Amino acid sequence: MNPPGQHRSHPGPPSDLRRRSTLAGEAAAASAEVEVALSVPVDPTAAAFFDVDNTVMQGASIFHLAKGLYKRKFFRTSDILGAMYKQAWFRIVGVEDPEHIADARNSALSFIAGHTVTELEELGEEIFDEVMAHRIWPGTRALAQRHLDEGQRVWLITAAPIEIASIIARRLGLTGALGTVAEHQDGVYTGRLVGELLHGPAKAAAVRAIAEHQELDLSRCSAYSDSINDLPMLSLVGDPVAINPDPALRAHARDHGWQVRDYRTGRKAARIGLLTGAVGGAAAGGIAAALAARNRPHA
């Protein structure tokens, strides 16, 4: 509760949100630099960027991770109820209210403070084997492999935490991953994000940063996603592809002559995919901000 005479603070103006999105993108790109150093592509000016949830993997990776962490008593139900409400509001209602986003971020981050990066990474490896590996879409995996075979780098780019994104990329033999970045000190989470979630405009900022660092020609690059929220990223590249698209992205792709690939089968599968993005994402979305990591420089 605020002290008498004081009003609840509100997020900054749109320019501040844009700044935080840019910061999130740059932080994600910087954290991925070590991955780049490990390989020299045959085709150095082209790359492919893949969203994860419902694009590479059936369902929401953060939802699968959250379930696994809950089973291991990483957090309590009461820790995330408030964050779930805020995420549900802007995922289902479709209004990304800046105040709700800020509240969701702050409440979601509170319960990971004190957990170690090593702890999350080790649990993430276990959870990938248990519930994620068999949910990889074979068709999307084949597309990623095609880019690798052509000598291009292939990146995952997701709002999920960088730890789990990196695990998925490594297990699939990809170049690396860009994910939501939160700070830690001496290997322990502080409970604060670096910038915003790697979502929407922040993904586009991350792609731009990678392109600048690696001297990529974006007109020769490809991007893949299921969600209209990734339109800023898809619009950056010369080869945007809609994978298992939501209705809005399908319509946009059709109107602009983009490729569409749908690996779901039947109306039931399509409904499941949409529900996972809206309800499943809302249930675990409050944790997405919390379970990210790489450290932010301190003064």
Burial of 167 by CB count in 10 Å (0-12 exposed, 13-18 middle, 19+ buried)? buried
What digits encode the pLDDT tens for the residues 20-38? Answer: 555 545 555 555 544 444 4
Summarize the confidence of residues 78-98 as an average pLDDT: 51
pLDDT at 54: 94
Of the candidate ranges 1-5, 46-50, 226-230, the one whose mean pLDDT is the lowest: 1-5
What digits encode the pLDDT tens for the residues 227-281? Answer: 999 999 999 999 999 999 999 999 999 999 999 999 997 544 445 445 444 444 4
- Going by pLDDT thresholds of 50, 70 and 90, the confidence category of residue 223 is very high
Is pTM beyond 0.95? Reply is: no
Summarize the confidence of residues 91-109 as an average pLDDT: 52
Query: Does the annotation count 53 as an active-site position?
Result: yes
- Going by pLDDT thresholds of 50, 70 and 90, the confidence category of residue 43 is very high
Summarize the confidence of residues 224-228 as an average pLDDT: 96
Closest to 230 (Cα-Cα) out of 211, 252, 254, 256? 252
pLDDT at 22: 55
Task: Give CA–CA dist 55/260, Å, rounded.
Answer: 12
Structure tokens at 187: 């290997």
Q: Going by C-beta distance under 8 Å and a sequence separation of 6 or more, which residues neighbour residue 130?
A: 68
CATH of range 17-34+42-288; options 3.40.50.1000, 3.40.50.300, 3.90.1150.10, 2.60.120.1600:
3.40.50.1000
> Which of 26-35, 85-94, 100-109, 212-221 has maximum average pLDDT?
212-221
Q: Of 16, 53, 103, 255, which residue is the catalytic one? A: 53
Domain ranges of the chain: 17-34+42-288
Query: Does the annotation count 103 as an active-site position?
Result: no
What digits encode the pLDDT tens for the residues 167-198? Answer: 999 999 999 999 987 788 999 988 777 777 78
Q: Do residues 51 and 226 lie in contact, with contact meaning Cβ atoms separated by under 8 Å? A: yes
* CA 160 vs CA 1, 81, 94, 219, 278: distances in Å: 31, 19, 19, 26, 15
Between 227 and 113, name the one with better pLDDT.
227
Q: Of 16, 43, 51, 217, which residue is the catalytic one? A: 51
